[in-house]
Amino acid sequence: MFFIVDLHRNVCIKPGQLGPNFEQHVADTLRSDIEGRCISKYGYIVCVVRLLEREKGRVQDGSGNIIVPVKCQAVAFQPVKEEVMDGVIVSVNSMGFFAQCGPIKAFVTASNLSGDYKQHNGVWTDGSTRLGVDQDVRIRILGYKYETNGMTAVAQMDQDFLGPP
């Protein structure tokens, strides 16, 4: 699920970036620092929508950099337990498969597959349906956790309207 969140951050600006384009440097540095990152309180930060407030910067002792406190609004993605998501299978193993759903890498175990799926040569099949790499699937998120470079989740595919399209 997507949310609009208010974030407070300290942006580090180099002395060479002071001047007429200072506001633009603050905005660009803020975007590069937080967009595409996972923050456990808010989730995956998709993009910064706008800067709400910028306080006066202070010179950092020893480095000469300017630390500027900034308040901004951002779009954040945070999954909700039991949320249904569409994804693409990225790897298959004997225990199940991994599906990429945006910033989430979800694992679906063999016991959470619907029907009588059997794994053979990197593909799960139940006679009529085939689940392999690069195939679209619809899954339900059971639980998730944040990691340094994204989110991981455990999911299921054993209910009505879940699975391949």
Q: Where are the domains of the chain?
A: 2-77, 84-157
Residues 12-34 have a mean pLDDT of: 93
Most confident by average pLDDT, 85-94, 126-135, 146-155 = 85-94
pLDDT tens by residue, 119-145: 888 899 888 888 999 999 999 999 999
| Res 126: pLDDT | 85
Residue 59 has pLDDT above 80, yes or no: yes
Domains 2-77 and 84-157 share a fold: no
pLDDT tens by residue, 100-117: 999 999 999 999 987 788
Of 72, 1, 87, give the one whose Cα is nearest residue 35.
72
How far is the first Cα of the chain from the last one, in angstroms, to the nearest whole number? 21
CATH superfamily, with its number, for domain 2-77 = RNA polymerase Rpb7-like, N-terminal domain (3.30.1490.120)
Q: Are 79 and 88 in contact (CB under 8 A)?
A: no
DSSP state of 15: G
Residue written as token pair 């029907």? 115
Of 119, 98, 116, give the one whose Cα is nearest residue 107.
98
Q: Which fold has domain 84-157?
A: OB fold (Dihydrolipoamide Acetyltransferase, E2P) (2.40.50)
Q: Predicted confidence band at 163 (pLDDT cuts at 50, 70, 90)?
A: confident
Which tokens go with 14?
């180099």
The answer to which of 3-17, 39-53, 96-110, 121-135 has the lowest mean pLDDT is: 121-135
